[in-house]
Amino acid sequence: MIYFDNSATTPPHPDVIETVRRAMEAYYGNPSSLHQKGVEAEQVIKQARAVAAQFLGCKPSEIIFTSGGTESNNTAIKGVALQYQTRGKHIVTTQIEHPAVYDVCKQLEGLGFSVTYVPVDREGRVSLEDVQRAMRPDTILVSVMHVNNELGTIQPVAEIGKWLKQFPKVLFHVDAVQGVGKVPLSIKEAGIDLLSVSAHKFYGPRGVGILYKREGLIIQPLLMGGGQESGVRSGTENLPGIAGMAKAIRLMQELGAAENTRLEGLREQLRAGIADIEGCIINTPQTGTAPHILNVSVPGVKAEVLVHALEERGFLISTKSACSSKADEPSRVLTSIGIDRDCALSSLRVSLGRENTAEQVGQFVVALRECVAQLRSYMKQKSGTR
Ligand SMILES: Cc1ncc(COP(=O)(O)O)c(C=O)c1O
């Protein structure tokens, strides 16, 4: 099987698996315990925090370990909303956020907050001007994702953050889950107060992530308890996961920017191959995108049918046509960029990763061409016999 679903999750690197295994075996102490095993465990967490801080360009004290992107987003947004609700109850976000931001905002609306969902352009990009227009005197938070998980479009978060610096009371959260390690972003330069990271998107373990929280910023914790993670995220630390994530960060740093250039090359090979297939429409814009995602529609063919047909030929990809709760609803992200329902219901996401090669991309294009031709001729026959 050839895995082209790296935006959903990445296969953990063998060294990460080994780090997790060793951590479970050797560092089973509770980092809060005073004895030797506790101190050893605390050391592991401290080292991992230093690795994460160096990678993100921040202080170790600004790193909060969480259970992943969803928790980091929830903690950031609800944490700010609860802490600063007396200052204002308005939040600005975009129409194309991941549900771990979008649905949190919907939930807060139900609790009396007001949210502006800023629209995006045809390429799936929000503009600084539209964010500026959405701002109100009672705005307490702006939350904009770094890279969209369905289209791969990079958002102008640095531009928005720099502009927001003049409003120190308006906090800026960035869901960087899809961008980390793929698209450069300086937390400090972009004036980011809170940033979400998830390890399983970069060959780390799932169920572990980071919330960067600017030093001195106070937010309400979601989880109360033992006061771990500076009181922001109580609960005995997931030491094996945290150690595995630090290993994954180190490996990502070793590979450096060259891997992203390689991915971009593969993505362009894929784009050119698919552009040549009759009836395929490429939804991912030409420029300003992360290197690993290509979103394609095959109008007239249901995405689920194509996904299964491709799986039969040995390729694993994703459909983003249906949101999890309503199977027949088209993707909110694709409809936000003005794609019609038929096109949105037939969209596929191919997402590339470290293990993919040019040969695999070539094979995929051949398989997709055959599947599309077969399914289209089947549909024609079906409509002809009606
Ligand atoms: C943009 C974005 N945010 C948040 C998440 C959620 O992260 P996690 O799976 O670690 O909870 C994802 C996962 O797909 C994502 O793509």
Q: Each residue's pLDDT tens digit in the chain (386 positions)?
A: 999 999 999 999 999 999 999 999 999 999 999 999 999 999 999 999 999 999 999 999 999 999 999 999 999 999 999 999 999 999 999 999 999 999 999 999 999 999 999 999 999 999 999 999 999 999 999 999 999 999 999 999 999 999 999 999 999 999 999 999 999 999 999 999 999 999 999 999 999 999 999 999 999 999 999 999 999 999 999 999 999 999 999 999 999 999 999 999 999 999 999 999 998 999 999 999 999 999 999 998 999 999 999 999 999 999 875 544 456 789 999 999 999 999 999 999 999 999 999 999 999 999 999 999 998 888 778 776 65
What is the number of the ligand 1 atom nearest to the C-alpha of 100?
4
Cβ pair 290, 154 in contact under 8 A:
yes
What is the C-alpha R_g of the chain? 22
Statement to judge: residues 221 and 261 lie in one domain: no
What CATH number corresponds to the domain at position 350?
A: 3.90.1150.10
User: Residue 67 Cα, ligand 1 centroid: separation in angstroms?
Assistant: 11
How far is Cα of residue 335 from the mean position of the Cα atoms in its chain? 19
pLDDT at 382 (0 to 100): 76
Active site residue 371: no
Q: Kindly tell me the sign of the dihedral angle through the C-alpha atoms of 239, 244, 246, 247.
A: positive
Statement to judge: residues 45 and 180 lie in one domain: yes
Statement to judge: residues 250 and 111 lie in one domain: yes
pLDDT at 385 (0 to 100): 60
Of 58, 105, 280, 323, the catalytic one is 323
Statement to judge: residues 200 and 243 lie in one domain: yes
> Following DSSP, what letter does each residue of 249-311 receive, concatenated?
HHHHHHHTHHHHHHHHHHHHHHHHHHHTSTT-EE-S-SSSB-TTEEEEE-TTS-HHHHHHHHH
Ligand 1, atom 9: nearest CA belongs to which residue?
Answer: 69
User: In the chain, what is the straight-line distance between the N-terminal and C-terminal CA atoms, in Å?
Assistant: 37
Cβ pair 29, 37 in contact under 8 A:
yes
User: Residue 10 Cα, ligand 1 centroid: separation in angstroms?
Assistant: 12
Indicate the number of domains in the chain: 2
The residue range of the domain holding 357 is: 256-384
User: Residue 170 Cα, ligand 1 centroid: separation in angstroms?
Assistant: 24
Statement to judge: residues 76 and 206 lie in one domain: yes
The preferred substitution site among 201, 323, 331 for testing ligand 1, maximizing ligand atoms within 8 Å of CB, is 201
Domain's final residue, options 212, 237, 254 = 254
pLDDT at 321 (0 to 100): 56
Statement to judge: residues 19 and 123 lie in one domain: yes
Domain's final residue, options 196, 226, 254 = 254
pLDDT at 335 (0 to 100): 95
Cβ pair 194, 80 in contact under 8 A:
yes
281 closest CA partner among 296, 260, 266: 296
Cβ pair 96, 222 in contact under 8 A:
no
Is residue 2 a part of any domain in this protein? no
pLDDT at 325 (0 to 100): 42
Tokens standing for residue 121: 């352009």
Domain's final residue, options 211, 231, 254 = 254
> Following DSSP, what letter does each residue of 120-162 receive, concatenated?
--TTS---HHHHHHH--TTEEEEEEESB-TTT-BBP-HHHHHH
Is residue 146 a part of any domain in this protein? yes
The preferred substitution site among 6, 101, 149, 323 for testing ligand 1, maximizing ligand atoms within 8 Å of CB, is 149
Cβ pair 381, 328 in contact under 8 A:
no
Cβ < 6 A, ligand 1 pocket? 68-70, 73, 98, 100, 145, 149, 175, 177-178, 198, 200, 209
Statement to judge: residues 263 and 201 lie in one domain: no
